Copies of this chain bind each other. A is one copy, B any other.
Amino acid sequence: MPEDFVVTPWEVSGVVDYDKLVERFGTQRIDAALLERIHRHTGDLHPMLKRALFFSHRDMNWILDEYEKGNRFALYTGRGPSSGIHLGHMVPWFVVKWLQDKFRATLWFQITDDEKYLFRDFDKLEDSRKVAYDNILDIIAMGFDPKLTKIFIDTEYIRHLYPLAVEISKRITFSTAKAVFGFDESFNIGQIFYTAIQSVPCFLPSVEAGRNVPVLIPCGIDQDPHFRVTRDVAERLGYSKPAGLYSRLMPGLLGLESKMSTSRPETAIFATDSEKAMRKKIANAFTGGRATVEEQRKLGANPHICSVFAYYTYLFAPEDRYLAEVERTCKSGERLCGDCKAELADHIAKFLKGHQERREQAKHRLEEFMLRDEGVAAPSTR
């Protein structure tokens, strides 16, 4: 029987049923007790946690156990530099920043230029590395604390990654990789090896500290297969299993079941979009509105199938009262889609303006954030 949907680190297809996915992957739901426990340490809750956009985890209670014992955790997340950054990419990063601020946790940020070349996003490895440098500007613009953030690009930082990757790879058979990632014999040997590289940062904080440091990985749930494999080998290598905090995949602008896609720019708002381009995309977004203004005034619209409402929910109505008001006025017919879109576009314009300014400044701040060896320089042709 063919699967109704597929989620791997390199493919999301079909309509994702997150309940089924949690079961399939064997992760845990984030429940009220866990939220309560996080709240005790943070004093509030990030809207994405409250709203179950971050909805699943592995071993988050253990992370808090250790934290309560005084054993601080490190954060690890990553970016496959396949294209420019859009708001969907940023979703986990907002939560990563919030966790960094609340727990004063060191963040290891891996940029996987090797992966994006091996998985066919680029014909030249160097092109992947150029996009890596572009993406890093957006990462820095998120406002991470430079004293607590280490960004590195796989091919540049490989001397520190490869020995551990070799140790990890010795403990993963092709048979396991095939089962977890759906590889067959036509996959290239770089793709097959790659998961070992993505495992490494789970252990780097421990290597650096010379003791076992708990690691928490906030990321899209599509990345869980890598860390399932990592968790299986961790203890055999003398390290703790990494914990995970997993988000849903933010829908595209063409409906809740649509995806953001770089090859179709109308599906997503990119970090470098002009205000005009952004407003046009929002104006064309799919909503839960009625066919006519009259009908909508009378019957109200449906926010629960609406991409615009999803953008409020994920990113642009952090205050619960405001989100509730958008929802109420939408359903009641007081709010028309055109006005609602213009209101969202104002929020996004404000965000993009600030982000793009910080992005410009980031060009002069690489050295504050990046781990690079002697003799490694950014690509010369940028």
B residues in contact with A173, CB < 8 Å: 185-189
Interface residues of A in 326-340 (CB under 8 A from B): none
Does A38 have its Cβ within 8 Å of any Cβ on chain B? no
CB distance from A381 to the nearest CB of B (A): 16
Digitize A362-382: 1 where CB-to-B-CB distance is under 8 Å, 0 elsewhere. 000000000001111000000
If A373-B375, A374-B373 touch, does A171 touch B188 (CB 8 Å cutoff)?
A: yes
Pick from B125, B158, B193: contact of A189, CB under 8 Å = B193
Interface residues of A in 139-184 (CB under 8 A from B): 155-156, 158-159, 162-163, 165-167, 169-175, 177-178, 183-184
Q: Which residue of chain B lies nearest to A185 when distances are taken between CB atoms in the complex?
A: B175
B residues in contact with A85, CB < 8 Å: none
Q: Which residue of chain B lies nearest to A128 when distances are taken between CB atoms in the complex?
A: B166
Number of chain copies forming the complex: 2
Bound state CA distance, A173 and B188, in angstroms?
Answer: 4
B residues in contact with A375, CB < 8 Å: 373-374
Q: Most B CB atoms within 10 A — which of A156, A169, A373?
A: A169
Q: A170-B191, A189-B193, A189-B196 known; 8 other A-B pairs, CB under 8 Å? A: A117-B170, A166-B190, A173-B186, A173-B187, A174-B174, A174-B184, A190-B193, A374-B374
